[in-house]
Chains A and B, each alone.
Chain A
Amino acid sequence: MKTYDIVIVGGGPAGLAAAVAAKEAGNDSILILERDHELGGILNQCIHNGFGLHTFKEELTGPEYAYRFIKQVLDLGIEYKLNTMVMDIAPDKTVTAMNREDGMFTIPAKAVILAMGCRERPRGALNIPGYRPAGIFSAGTAQRLVNIEGYMPGREVVILGSGDIGLIMARRMTLEGAKVKVVAELMPYSGGLKRNIVQCLDDYGIPLKLSHTVVDIEGKDHVTAVTIAKVGPDRKPIPGTEIRYTCDTLLLSCGLIPENELSRSAGVKMSPVTSGPVVNESLETNIPGVFACGNVLHVHDLVDYVSEEAKRAGENAVKYINEGCRDSENQDFIEIAATDGARYTVPSSINLDRMSDLLTVRFRVGDVYKDSFVSVYFDDERILHNQKRIMAPGEMEQIILKKSQLKEHEGLKKITVKIEAE
């Protein structure tokens, strides 16, 4: 098997953008490994619009957005293999993969970019009681069936979880002629973007019941009814609040989990909060030369942010190859901590020497905050205090750090991001 400088695991939006950026940064030895039969990843089944407002200043569908990057990959002559499953990534960056034509093969790479995306939390993980009939789908699986395969799962639908895919599918199923009876959400706030609540539920008169969960599923062979109930502050159902909906389909949109099985086996250090790798300013993991971007790193709301992040990963992979392993032992790292309502930050550390002039730090909050402040402290000194009208866990937040500003604070050890009431 040929060797490559950079192996990118995943040909979705993150992998494609990373590949383009790496090629443009001057590396010609790049291979994308994609398990599906086409490039583009999950965008191929996202046939609704609203993609690319930040990147292209226009509203594209998922496949259109993906194609912008696929075309660049093709034009730049970047190599890729489809229908190819990566089986293992060794700590020395040897990638083992498999497909029908090549069989099982290994590639010793100089740098690896993790871009495997995420998957949905299944029913089992939610511990929903009841029967286990046909008619229960994760929203993404239903989206694939409807949008790619051309099949309808059912006609009367209950949706649990108000993640973006669930909201989008509420509208999609409605447009295909199904009746979406209710969207139930365990938390007192939606897990999706505000714009999706408006455009996918409100516009179609689909009720959203916050602080509700599914307490029973009926139907031995196929779903016949779903019962939801209100939950208290402990998120336990309150007896007597049950509402039963007859239906033939239950869609679950209860959270996305970065798909890091390969990262783990490679020895990549993971964040228990994001379920993605812990990375520094270069989006490099604890293994030098292994980078991560997109939803495998942390779940994004907008693909535009994925593309922008992946670009940085691609550029940094080339830098790593050109400059060799930059020994991190002797470097002073600045830690970025998230406290007081800020749940995490990506990245979570900065090497000042390697930092570019501007660094975008993204994070999510753990609750809904109204008229609160995003504060950034350099050690004990507050240097940023931005008021936000509303912040919610479903919407990613960001701050931008300037290298010059960090340099002014000599001996800076720790940057803290927190949410403050005033």
Chain B
Amino acid sequence: MYDIVIIGAGVSGSAVAREVSRYDVSACVLEKCEDVCEGTSKANSAIVHAGFDAEEGSLMAKLNVEGNEMMDQLSKDLDIPFKRNGSLVVCVHKEELDGIKDLYDRGVKNGVKGLKILSREEALELEPNLSENVEGALFAPTGGIVCPFELNIAMAENANMNGVEFRFNTEVEDIKKCDDGLWHIRTNNGEYVSRVVVNAAGVHADEIHNMVSADKMHIIERRGDYCLLDKEVGGFVSHTIFPQPTKYGKGVLVTPTVHGNLLVGPTAIDIEDKEGTNTTAKGLDEVFAKASENVKNLPMRNVITSFAGLRAHLEKHEFVIEEVKDAENFIDVAGIESPGLSASPAIGKMVGNMLKDKMGLKEKSDWIATRKGVKSTEGLSIDEMNALIKENPAYGTIICRCESITEGEILDAIHRPLGARSLDGVKRRTRAGMGRCQAGFCSPRTMEIINRELGLPYEKITKSGGKSNIILERTKGEVSHS
């Protein structure tokens, strides 16, 4: 029996979990995948939006601006990379300059600070690789970039450090309010009972909502294809470059990432498949074509990987964060599409405050606000490296050569709270396998470490949980590993 059960360990669920962990409650997060950050939160633009896009007065606008403002402190507290690189909405058609002005006005009303409309010359001076056709741009200095994995993982870890339990590979099958007035949550891993349920199930939030409410919800899966480019061209632009937004969203952007890659995407196509994270040839072509309207000579030959993400779009294009009217003590955190990542700290805060008021929660005296990330060896001097290796020789062995990730970092990722159990889990916590060879070199070595540290037989080691086993079986006979 829990006070609070949160469904979903994406960035929203984890943000709520962290806020809830401030209080003296018993809380648990149920996640159907084997790790945090396995859905929408793992495949997006990694952007902290300034907040000028969303409709004035909307919850989206409010939480975006708030979330953006919270990010400096949060990134310090949780030791995650975040950079205010600034963003530009580029206009390449004279007749659309009014659109820039409208965005500016909306941004000002939403409380976005420092917005400025740039002339063609000013825009080109900031970003020499913009298209020759640029007519003007909206500059938002508060726009930023973040590591979406680390933001998600850090909030979850911090919640866990503060006592929130996490149940992975636990899929909710049914939810019922019983005579005891409590929510009974049936899962593939047994029943969970809770006073309050928070539905942060991403693209599945409608299914969860519809289990308890007569007022049905329908989430539209909006898929976007992305291409990630090598660090060699990470400096191609320094700001996040947006086109003019359309009804399908903020369009195909070109942005540096906090780790020094270049990211291009997404497309936007509505599909009806909650698992439909496949890229398409058409989509990948479109990424290049659309991005090329705003920047010139995009170095697409440096693509190292492409992927697709789903956005949990609701028809009314607004976040739904509220107690469900016909289901007392059941709170939806639904329709969290872009700018959900940017807004996530504010979403967590908002739900945390709702629960505090509703349940009369008391703050803990011993809440830990900070968390240290996986110790990175990047940029360490020779003396610092030697001190580290002396203390722990595992930092002297490079496992991922593209990203220079050491065995020490991988051990840290495995053994920390909510540690990695799969190759993707290691990747999202350390970047091992995220480089230009895309794990061709390091995956057998990472498997060796997972096998040794977790006692997982090779056949059971997965790429990302479920049935994503890397190998099938042994070849003939026993093999000794020396």
Which positions in A face B, CB cutoff 8 Å? 35, 83, 85, 87, 96, 98-106, 119-120, 122-125, 127, 129-134, 137-138, 140-141, 144-146, 148-155, 176, 215-218, 220-222, 237, 248
Contact = CB atoms under 8 A, between A and B. Distances in A.
Contacts of A137: 440
Contacts of B471: 145, 151-153
B396 A103 contact: yes
Given A145-B471, A152-B473, A124 B228 contact: yes
4 residue pairs, one from A and one from B, having the closest CB atoms: A124-B305, A150-B479, A122-B438, A134-B463
B389 A237 contact: no
9 contacts: A96-B382, A98-B396, A98-B398, A100-B397, A102-B396, A124-B438, A131-B277, A131-B278, A150-B475
Contacts of A129: 278-281, 283-284, 306
Interface string B280-300: 110110000000000000000
Nearest to B398: A85
Given A129-B284, A151-B458, A99 B397 contact: yes
Contacts of A100: 389, 393-394, 396-397
B474 A150 contact: yes
Given A100-B393, A101-B393, A127-B284, A153 B305 contact: no
Contacts of B284: 127, 129
B119 interface: no
B462 interface: yes
Contacts of A153: 470-472
B74 interface: no
B404 interface: yes
Contacts of A99: 396-397
A417 to B, nearest CB: 26
Q: Interface residues of B toward A: which range?
A: 35 or more
Contacts of B459: 151
A125 B304 contact: yes
A140 B459 CA distance: 19
Contacts of B481: 149
Interface in B440-482: 440-441, 443-444, 458-459, 462-464, 466-479, 481
A237 B386 CA distance: 52
A141 B440 contact: yes
B443 A134 contact: no
A130 B278 contact: yes
B466 A122 contact: no
A154 B459 CA distance: 11
A220 B275 contact: yes
A103 B472 CA distance: 37
Nearest to B462: A134
Nearest to B396: A100
A89 to B, nearest CB: 14
Contact of B306 (A85, A124, A150): A124
A102 B385 CA distance: 11
A129 B469 CA distance: 21
A87 B404 contact: yes
Given A119-B440, A122-B438, A221-B468, A98 B305 contact: no
